[in-house]
Amino acid sequence: MLVLALGGAGFFAWKGQQSVKAADAKLAEQTSQAETATKDLESTKAELEAANEAKKKLEPLVASAQQLEAIKASFASGETLHDLEELYKPDKKSKKEKKISVERQLGLSAVRLLTKGPEDADAAQDFKKVLDLADWGSKQKVICAAQNALAAMGQKIDVLSECKLALTADSAQGHADAANAKAGDKEAQQQPSWTYAGDKGPEHWGEQFKTCTTAKWQAPINIVGPFLKPKLSVVPAYQDAKLALVNDGRNIDIKVEEGGKLRVDSVPYELNLVRFHRPSEELIEGQASAMDMQLMHRSEDGKWVTLVVLFKEGEANEALAPLWEKLPAKGGDRVELEGQKFNFKTLLPGQMDYFSYEGTLTTPPCTEGVKYYVLKTPVTLTKEQLAHFPLEGNVRPVQALKNRQIQG
C-alpha cells in the first residue's frame, strides 16, 4: 500500500509538473504575441505620425500648385506675352534688338514659360539668354531663377549648389520654412560656390563650372613677348555714373549705372561692372603690380571687353578717394554713393597704349571670348591707400598661354 501510495503521489506530481510547463509555454507564447502586437501598434503609430507629417508638408505645396495654376490661367490667352514681345521687339528702322535689363529678360522668359509651357523651345532659349546676360558676381538670384526654371523644364544644366539649397528648402517645407531656414541659418544659406583658396579654390572651379577647365584660352596670363602690333583703337567715353559697391567676401563688385562706354575700333561696349584685385591678376614679364582695376564692358550682342588699369605704389591717387571712403569692409555689406556720381575716366592714365589678348572671365563661370586690353602705363597709389583695400589675394593664378598671340 505504501508503494502504491508513493507511486500515485509521484504520478500526480509529474502530471502537475507537466501542466505547469504547459501553462508556462502557453504564457510565453501569449507574451510573445502581445509583444509582437505592441510592436505592430507602435509601428502603425509611427507610420500614422509620418503620414500626418507628410500631409502637413504637402499642404503648402498643394496651395503653391493651386496658385501656380491660377497664374498660368491668367496668362493662357497669350495677350500678355504678345504685348511684351511687341514692346521688346527689334526696332523697325534699325532692325536692332532693343536692349533690356537681365531682370526684364527673366520676366519675359517666365511669362513665355507660363503661357507656352515647359515644352516650348523659345522659353528655354530665353532662360539661357538670361544666363548669358547676367553678371555671375552680382545677379545670383536671377541666375538661380533661370537655372531652376531650365531644370524644371527638363533641360540639362548644372544648377549651382546655393540654388539647389534654396529649391530644396522651398519644396520640402514650403515658403514659411524656407524663410525660417534663411533667418536661422543665414551662414549656411550663403556658402559661396567658389572661393580663391581651399576646397573651392581655383584648382576646383572646373568641378562645378566646366568652362574654367575646358576653355582653351583662359585668363589671366603672364604677358611676355614677342608682341604683334596693335590694330584697334581703344577710346574711353565714360561719364558720371551712379555706383553701388557690394562686398561678397571674395570681391568688391562696383555696379555701374549709366557709366558710359568703351569704344573699340568704334564699336561701343557699355561699362557695367568694376573690380579691383590685390595684387594684379595679369603679370608683366613675371611681375605683378600692387593692384589692378578691371573695367568690364558688354556689347549689345553680349560680348565682353575688359580694360585693365595697373596700380603701383607711389604718390597719392586723389581720384580714388570717393571710392575708398565708401569701400564695404565686410562680406555681405552694400554701399551706394548717394547724392554723388563717379566718372571712371579719372582713374585712367594719360596714355592708352595697351597689351591685348583673348581669354575668359577670371571668375566663374569663366565665360570664353573676353577681349582684354591691359594698359601699359600704370597709375599710382600710396602704401596706405593699398592697405585700405579690405581684400587681399582675390586673384586667379595665371593660366597657360597656349600659343596665343599678344598685341602690344
With bands split at pLDDT 50, 70 and 90, how would you rate the model's confidence at 70?
confident
Does the pLDDT of residue 4 top 60, yes or no? no
pLDDT at 389: 97
Assess whether 382 and 299 both reside in one domain. Answer: yes
Does the pLDDT of residue 13 top 60, yes or no? no
Give the pLDDT confidence of 94-103 residue by residue, as tens digits.
666 666 777 8
Q: What span, in angstroms and rounded, lies between the C-alpha atoms of 140 and 159?
A: 12
Does the pLDDT of residue 355 top 60, yes or no? yes
pLDDT at 338: 80
- Residue 178, in any domain of the structure: yes
- Residue 120, in any domain of the structure: yes
Q: Which residue from 174, 153, 164 is spatially nearest to 57, judged by alpha carbons?
A: 174
Q: How many structural domains is the chain composed of?
A: 2
Does the pLDDT of residue 205 top 90, yes or no? yes
Assess whether 282 and 376 both reside in one domain. Answer: yes
Assess whether 90 and 237 both reside in one domain. Answer: no
Q: What span, in angstroms and rounded, lies between the C-alpha atoms of 365 and 170?
A: 26
Question: Where is pLDDT greater, at 318 or 74?
Answer: 318
Q: Which residue from 242, 259, 261, 273 is spatially nearest to 299, judged by alpha carbons?
A: 261
* Domain boundary, last residue among 150, 173, 189: 189
Assess whether 128 and 226 both reside in one domain. Answer: no
Give the pLDDT confidence of 154-176 residue by residue, as tens digits.
887 767 655 664 444 344 344 43
- 3-state class (DSSP) for residue 118: coil
- Percent of the chain whose pLDDT exceeds 90: 51
* Domain boundary, last residue among 137, 171, 189: 189
Does the pLDDT of residue 308 top 90, yes or no? yes
Assess whether 182 and 284 both reside in one domain. Answer: no
Q: What is the average pLDDT across 12-34?
A: 66
Q: What is the average pLDDT across 227-240?
A: 96
End-to-end Cα spacing for the chain: 133
* Rounded (5°) CA angle 42-47-52: 125
Does the pLDDT of residue 3 top 70, yes or no? no
Does the pLDDT of residue 301 top 80, yes or no? yes
What CATH number is attached to the domain comprising 285?
3.10.200.10
- Percent of the chain whose pLDDT exceeds 70: 80
Q: What span, in angstroms and rounded, lies between the C-alpha atoms of 297 and 370?
A: 10
pLDDT at 188: 38
- Residue 361, in any domain of the structure: yes
Q: What span, in angstroms and rounded, lies between the C-alpha atoms of 144 and 165?
A: 10
Give the pLDDT confidence of 39-48 residue by residue, as tens digits.
777 877 888 8
pLDDT at 25: 72
Place of cell 565665360: 367
With bands split at pLDDT 50, 70 and 90, how would you rate the model's confidence at 321?
very high
pLDDT at 379: 98
- Residue 351, in any domain of the structure: yes
Give the pLDDT confidence of 275-299 residue by residue, as tens digits.
999 999 999 999 999 999 999 999 9
Assess whether 246 and 166 both reside in one domain. Answer: no
Assess whether 285 and 374 both reside in one domain. Answer: yes
- Residue 1, in any domain of the structure: no
Assess whether 293 and 182 both reside in one domain. Answer: no
Assess whether 280 and 326 both reside in one domain. Answer: yes
- Residue 74, in any domain of the structure: no
Q: Please, what is the average pLDDT of the chain? A: 83
pLDDT at 179: 41
Segments forming the whole domain that contains residue 235:
217-388
Does the pLDDT of residue 177 top 70, yes or no? no
Assess whether 86 and 142 both reside in one domain. Answer: yes
Assess whether 383 and 236 both reside in one domain. Answer: yes
- Residue 263, in any domain of the structure: yes
- Residue 310, in any domain of the structure: yes
Q: What is the average pLDDT across 25-45?
A: 75
Assess whether 311 and 366 both reside in one domain. Answer: yes
